[in-house]
Structure 1
Amino acid sequence: MKSKFKITRADYLKAMRKARRDEEIREHLHPVNINRVHKSKKVYNRKRNKADLNKDLPYFFALSKLQVYSF
Protein backbone atom coordinates (compact mmCIF):
# COMPACT_ATOMS: atom_id res chain seq x y z
CA MET A 1 0.00 0.00 0.00
CA LYS A 2 1.04 3.56 -0.62
CA SER A 3 1.57 5.85 2.29
CA LYS A 4 -0.76 8.84 2.36
CA PHE A 5 0.74 12.27 1.87
CA LYS A 6 -0.21 14.75 4.56
CA ILE A 7 -0.40 18.41 3.51
CA THR A 8 1.30 20.56 6.12
CA ARG A 9 0.73 24.24 6.80
CA ALA A 10 4.07 25.09 5.16
CA ASP A 11 3.09 23.19 1.99
CA TYR A 12 -0.24 25.03 1.87
CA LEU A 13 1.42 28.46 2.27
CA LYS A 14 4.03 27.65 -0.37
CA ALA A 15 1.34 26.60 -2.86
CA MET A 16 -0.73 29.73 -2.16
CA ARG A 17 2.30 32.02 -2.62
CA LYS A 18 3.19 30.33 -5.90
CA ALA A 19 -0.40 30.63 -7.16
CA ARG A 20 -0.58 34.32 -6.17
CA ARG A 21 2.78 35.01 -7.85
CA ASP A 22 1.69 33.27 -11.06
CA GLU A 23 -1.54 35.30 -11.04
CA GLU A 24 0.42 38.59 -10.67
CA ILE A 25 2.71 37.65 -13.56
CA ARG A 26 -0.30 36.76 -15.72
CA GLU A 27 -2.04 40.04 -14.84
CA HIS A 28 0.92 42.45 -15.10
CA LEU A 29 3.11 40.50 -17.58
CA HIS A 30 6.06 40.73 -15.17
CA PRO A 31 6.74 40.02 -11.49
CA VAL A 32 5.52 42.79 -9.18
CA ASN A 33 7.75 43.91 -6.32
CA ILE A 34 5.66 44.79 -3.26
CA ASN A 35 8.41 45.56 -0.74
CA ARG A 36 10.31 48.26 -2.66
CA VAL A 37 10.80 51.55 -0.79
CA HIS A 38 9.27 54.59 -2.51
CA LYS A 39 11.95 57.10 -3.57
CA SER A 40 11.06 60.76 -3.29
CA LYS A 41 11.67 62.87 -6.41
CA LYS A 42 12.53 65.84 -4.20
CA VAL A 43 15.64 64.20 -2.72
CA TYR A 44 18.88 64.87 -4.64
CA ASN A 45 19.77 61.89 -6.79
CA ARG A 46 22.84 62.29 -9.00
CA LYS A 47 22.10 59.15 -11.01
CA ARG A 48 18.57 60.28 -11.94
CA ASN A 49 19.78 63.82 -12.75
CA LYS A 50 22.49 62.52 -15.08
CA ALA A 51 20.01 60.16 -16.75
CA ASP A 52 17.67 63.09 -17.42
CA LEU A 53 20.59 65.05 -18.88
CA ASN A 54 21.57 62.16 -21.19
CA LYS A 55 18.05 61.97 -22.63
CA ASP A 56 18.54 65.40 -24.25
CA LEU A 57 22.13 64.88 -25.43
CA PRO A 58 21.60 63.88 -29.08
CA TYR A 59 19.54 67.02 -29.71
CA PHE A 60 22.09 69.16 -27.87
CA PHE A 61 24.95 67.88 -30.05
CA ALA A 62 22.95 68.37 -33.23
CA LEU A 63 22.37 72.04 -32.36
CA SER A 64 26.00 72.62 -31.40
CA LYS A 65 27.22 71.16 -34.73
CA LEU A 66 24.88 73.47 -36.65
CA GLN A 67 26.25 76.48 -34.82
CA VAL A 68 29.87 75.47 -35.51
CA TYR A 69 29.25 75.08 -39.25
CA SER A 70 27.49 78.44 -39.51
CA PHE A 71 30.73 80.38 -38.78
Structure 2
Amino acid sequence: MKSKFKITRADYLKAMRKARRDEEIREHLHPVNINRVHKSKKVYNRKRNKADLNKDLPYFFAFGKLQASKLQVSSTFIF
Protein backbone atom coordinates (compact mmCIF):
# COMPACT_ATOMS: atom_id res chain seq x y z
CA MET A 1 0.00 0.00 0.00
CA LYS A 2 1.15 3.52 -0.76
CA SER A 3 1.61 5.92 2.08
CA LYS A 4 -0.07 9.30 1.63
CA PHE A 5 2.09 12.37 1.46
CA LYS A 6 1.42 14.70 4.36
CA ILE A 7 1.74 18.41 3.78
CA THR A 8 3.61 19.87 6.71
CA ARG A 9 3.51 23.45 7.89
CA ALA A 10 6.99 24.06 6.45
CA ASP A 11 5.90 22.72 3.04
CA TYR A 12 2.82 24.97 3.08
CA LEU A 13 4.85 28.08 3.98
CA LYS A 14 7.46 27.29 1.33
CA ALA A 15 4.79 26.89 -1.35
CA MET A 16 3.06 30.14 -0.33
CA ARG A 17 6.35 32.10 -0.38
CA LYS A 18 7.19 30.73 -3.82
CA ALA A 19 3.73 31.61 -5.14
CA ARG A 20 3.91 35.13 -3.67
CA ARG A 21 7.38 35.68 -5.15
CA ASP A 22 6.26 34.46 -8.59
CA GLU A 23 3.28 36.84 -8.41
CA GLU A 24 5.57 39.79 -7.52
CA ILE A 25 7.86 38.99 -10.45
CA ARG A 26 4.88 38.75 -12.79
CA GLU A 27 3.48 42.07 -11.52
CA HIS A 28 6.71 44.15 -11.31
CA LEU A 29 8.80 42.31 -13.93
CA HIS A 30 11.61 41.84 -11.39
CA PRO A 31 11.98 40.56 -7.82
CA VAL A 32 10.98 43.12 -5.18
CA ASN A 33 13.20 43.57 -2.14
CA ILE A 34 11.06 44.21 0.95
CA ASN A 35 13.83 44.08 3.56
CA ARG A 36 15.87 47.03 2.30
CA VAL A 37 16.86 49.71 4.79
CA HIS A 38 15.11 53.03 4.13
CA LYS A 39 17.55 55.77 3.11
CA SER A 40 16.80 59.25 4.40
CA LYS A 41 16.57 61.96 1.73
CA LYS A 42 17.96 64.50 4.20
CA VAL A 43 21.36 62.80 4.43
CA TYR A 44 23.94 64.10 1.93
CA ASN A 45 24.37 61.69 -0.95
CA ARG A 46 26.64 62.89 -3.74
CA LYS A 47 25.66 60.11 -6.13
CA ARG A 48 21.94 60.93 -5.93
CA ASN A 49 22.61 64.69 -6.19
CA LYS A 50 24.70 64.23 -9.34
CA ALA A 51 22.05 61.95 -10.83
CA ASP A 52 19.41 64.63 -10.23
CA LEU A 53 21.58 67.20 -12.02
CA ASN A 54 22.22 64.92 -15.00
CA LYS A 55 18.54 64.05 -15.24
CA ASP A 56 17.62 67.72 -15.85
CA LEU A 57 20.56 68.67 -18.11
CA PRO A 58 19.12 68.11 -21.59
CA TYR A 59 16.12 70.30 -20.77
CA PHE A 60 17.96 72.98 -18.79
CA PHE A 61 18.85 75.30 -21.66
CA ALA A 62 15.82 74.70 -23.87
CA PHE A 63 13.53 77.12 -21.99
CA GLY A 64 14.27 79.93 -24.47
CA LYS A 65 11.89 81.25 -27.08
CA LEU A 66 11.78 79.31 -30.32
CA GLN A 67 11.12 81.17 -33.53
CA ALA A 68 10.34 79.22 -36.66
CA SER A 69 10.07 80.42 -40.21
CA LYS A 70 9.77 78.57 -43.51
CA LEU A 71 13.49 78.24 -44.16
CA GLN A 72 15.21 78.98 -40.88
CA VAL A 73 14.78 77.90 -37.26
CA SER A 74 16.51 80.04 -34.68
CA SER A 75 16.39 79.74 -30.92
CA THR A 76 17.32 81.93 -28.00
CA PHE A 77 18.94 80.24 -25.04
CA ILE A 78 18.55 81.45 -21.47
CA PHE A 79 21.10 80.33 -18.90
TM-score, normalising length: structure 2: 0.58
Identity rate, percent: 99
Stretches of structure 1 that go unaligned for 5 or more consecutive residues are none
More strand by share: 2
Compute the displacement of 1:46 (Å). Answer: 3.8
After the TM superposition, which parts of structure 1 deviate over 4 Å for at least 4 consecutive aligned residues? 49-62, 64-71
1:6/1:65 Cα in 2 relative to 1: closer, same or farther (>3 Å)?
Answer: farther
Compute the displacement of 1:5 (Å). Answer: 0.6
Structure number with the bigger relative contact order (C-alpha 8 A, sep ≥ 6) is 2
Q: Distance in 2 between matches of 1:26 and 1:15?
A: 16
1:65/1:29 Cα in 2 relative to 1: closer, same or farther (>3 Å)?
Answer: farther
More helix by share: 1
Compute the displacement of 1:15 (Å). Answer: 0.3
1:50/1:35 Cα in 2 relative to 1: closer, same or farther (>3 Å)?
Answer: same
1:3/1:18 Cα in 2 relative to 1: closer, same or farther (>3 Å)?
Answer: same
Q: Distance in 1 between matches of 2:48 and 2:70?
A: 27
1:52/1:65 Cα in 2 relative to 1: closer, same or farther (>3 Å)?
Answer: farther
* Aligned length, in residue pairs: 70
TM-score, normalising length: structure 1: 0.63
Q: Which has the larger radius of gyration?
A: 2
